A and B are shown apart, each in its own frame.
Chain A
Amino acid sequence: MTATLPRQASTRPRPPVKRRTSQLTRADQLAALGCAVSAVLLTWFVLHLLLTSPGWLADLVVAYALYLGMLYVVTRDRLGRLAAADRLVSTIVVTGAMGLLVPLLFLLGYIVVHGAPFLRWGFFGHDMSTVGPADPVTATGGLHAVVGTLEQTALTLVLVVPLGLLTAIFLNETRSKFRRPVRIMVDAMSGLPSIVAGLFVYAALIIPGIQAGVGFFSYSGLMATLALTMVMLPTVTRTIDVVLRLVPDGLREASLALGASRARTVWSVVLPTARTGVTTAVILGVARVAGETAPLLFTSFGAVFLNADPVTGPQESLPLFVYRYIKEPLENVQQRGYVGALVLILLIFGLFALARIVGRDRSKRRTTAKRTQETR
């Protein structure tokens, strides 16, 4: 095959030709296609001509099983038992991945189809206090919900990042004998149902606060923040803990051997080394709490008007916004919920994208730095 390639200029060696190693050949593809066609036809013949099919799901299951069987037999005949087993397992794995991806894409598509046609810039311009139930869906205003979500998430972040970071450092970088109980506590807290977190804040702060007439402890964005902190803190702590454990001990020793204190080592060596992982952990935690609904139900309570003050008065947020409208009977009111869900998903996607960019930032800068060095 290589002999038929056109000759290069004699001064340069012939460029290397990549050999194909694990790719599917044309024959493999044809065999798979043939198996698929015969499986479909056989299913149709048996289930629709000979029997009465109980439904499309049965068709799918039978066709898939037939396809796998045929693929195995055909491949064993062509390439042997080992190759056939390999082909069979890879087919199942690929199908499994597709099986996960399809519902996810379907879910996203569903929200986009229902929400996108009604999303206007005005959504970010006003709240729902001036919008009546009969108004068109495009008049939906979510400013109050967006502001609430951003404020509550930011406040949660302010509470969680220092606490989570310090706890993770305590778990990893000290030799205290309290590490074990703390770790058990963090693990137990990460299994806490989020509605219990909301309930706790409600029962422990809001009810006594209202009874005692202390205005500070009543429905507000801050109370929601406390509940969200209880949800986010254990996850973020555990993730940072794992990330810190990945920092090689050799680096800590090197730092200590240079005369650094333990605190200095953590601050100047361990944290910079784990920087990317810590950032990713925090942003993933944020993405998670931004979508939490249950802890907000009895803490920030929700409202249809803009309340930019997170400390006093009920405050709306996007999950509550969705919850409020999706359960209404009127169709155009329900659709407001889809618009809110779409905005929430876009917000979380934005955060994930940010996490990826921050996570990649460093290595990218390195390679460009390297490249400029090489060209010099």
Chain B
Amino acid sequence: MTDTTTLSVPDSPPAVRLTGGPPPGAAELESRGVAAWFGDRLVLEDVSLRMPAREVTALIGPSGCGKSTFLRILNRMHELVPSASLAGEVLLDGTDIYADGTRAQHVRLRIGMVFQKPNPFPAMSIRDNVLAGLKLAGVKCGDKAALVEQSLQRAGLWREVRDRLNAPGGALSGGQQQRLCIARSLAVQPNVLLMDEPCSALDPTSTRRIEQTIAEIGHEVTVVIVTHNMQQAQRVSDHCAFFLAAENEPGRVVEHGPTAKIFGSPEDERTHDYVTGRFG
């Protein structure tokens, strides 16, 4: 186990300038009374959570309690599921991302996402994978080489791939692929980065490397991470929200607050049972 305080956080170099990208800096994300349905089934209810800028918020809880659904609501990926619907508000720096006239594409450009399964684009080289976001969202960049280097460096992959940027992205190992996906998300310089169990398919060494990456980028963007691994939540996050769904009931946030408090002296008995490993 690595304590986050011992990880070296390098002074971040000035970001490469993009035109047409998200506004610079991190943004605060806040959900108000969010509920979600799949078809007629209510899976999530009354989630009001503040995810402060430049900090890492972890969403923990047993499977099927709506953590991933909540995460996908935060950047409007939820609505891609044909039967899905939702209620409530998600505020990005105070503006509702579901307001009329707000385009989902623009929201997703500002709020990046890393998926559970590494999904680099197989038809593209490592370099093109990193730059894919620019091409896909129509963002311009004057110095692409610098952007590739910076993004890969922030994702902790630069040293391993700098000699083979033209190799296909699919030729990397699973952990490297996941870091490539992180670099791809970081290249468009989003204000928030969502991570949906980014380490669940990886070995401990890769997991440690990615946790290190999270610790480094957590000072520059807002990070929201879903994890099943409670040690991981403890290591990487500043804030924690514990989700729980009783049988045949929608998921709710049982307790949220600073990570140290959730793991050290939780107020709710169920949180205490969960973080001490008594169930789940």
Contact = CB atoms under 8 A, between A and B. Distances in A.
Interface of A: 175, 248, 250-251, 253-261, 264-265, 268-269, 272-273, 275, 366, 369-370, 373, 376
Interface stretch (B88-96, B114-122, B215-223): B114-122
B133 A259 contact: yes
Given A175-B82, A253-B115, A273-B121, A259 B171 contact: no
Given A250-B117, A253-B80, A370-B171, A260 B136 contact: yes
Contacts of B123: 269, 272-273, 275
A376 B166 CA distance: 14
Given A257-B112, A261-B105, A373-B167, 4 more contacts: A257-B77, A258-B137, A259-B110, A264-B136
Residue of A248, A260, A369 most packed against chain B (CB within 10 A) = A260
B181 A254 contact: yes
Contacts of A369: 166-168
B115 A258 contact: no
A259 B113 contact: no
Contacts of B106: 259
Contacts of A248: 119
Nearest to A374: B164
Contacts of B86: none
Contacts of A254: 115, 119, 121, 181, 184
B253 interface: no
Contacts of A258: 108-109, 112, 132-133, 136-137, 184-185, 188
Contact of A269 (B113, B115, B136, B168): B136
Nearest to B113: A257
Contacts of A255: 121, 132, 136
Contacts of B185: 257-258
Contacts of A272: 121, 123-124
B121 A260 contact: no
A185 B280 CA distance: 50
A268 B135 contact: yes
B231 to A, nearest CB: 27
Contacts, number: 83
Interface residues of B, number: 34
A366 B171 contact: yes
Nearest to A275: B123
A376 B136 contact: no
A376 B165 CA distance: 13
Given A366-B171, A369-B166, A256 B119 contact: no
B77 A256 contact: yes
B75 interface: yes
B269 interface: no
A59 B122 CA distance: 56
Contact of A260 (B105, B124, B168): B105
B188 A259 contact: yes
Contacts of B113: 257
8 contacts: A175-B82, A248-B119, A251-B122, A256-B108, A268-B132, A269-B123, A269-B136, A369-B168
B247 interface: no
B19 to A, nearest CB: 14
Given A248-B119, A268-B136, A259 B109 contact: yes
B163 interface: yes
Which label, helix, strand, loop or mixed, suits the secondary structure of the A interface? helix
Nearest to B111: A257
Closest 6 CB pairs of A and B: A259-B109, A260-B136, A259-B137, A272-B123, A250-B119, A257-B113
Contacts of A370: 167, 171
A235 B188 CA distance: 40
Nearest to B166: A369
Interface in B143-186: 163-164, 166-168, 171, 181, 184-185
B143 to A, nearest CB: 20
B136 A259 contact: yes
A10 B68 CA distance: 58
A52 B133 CA distance: 80
Contacts of A268: 132, 135-136
Nearest to A373: B164
Contacts of A260: 105, 136-137
A9 B179 CA distance: 43
Contacts of B82: 175
Nearest to B107: A259
A269 B123 CA distance: 8
A255 B115 CA distance: 11
Contact of A366 (B75, B112, B168): B168
A257 B171 contact: no
A89 B265 CA distance: 67
Contacts of B80: 253, 256
A196 B105 CA distance: 47
Given A256-B80, A257-B77, A259-B106, A273 B122 contact: yes
A162 B137 CA distance: 25
Contacts of A256: 77, 80, 108
A293 to B, nearest CB: 38
Given A254-B115, A268-B136, A259 B108 contact: yes
B108 A257 contact: yes
B39 to A, nearest CB: 15
B279 to A, nearest CB: 31
A270 to B, nearest CB: 10
B269 to A, nearest CB: 37
Nearest to A261: B105
A268 B166 CA distance: 18
A103 B221 CA distance: 67
A265 B136 CA distance: 7
Contacts of A251: 119, 121-122
A376 B164 CA distance: 10
A269 B119 CA distance: 12
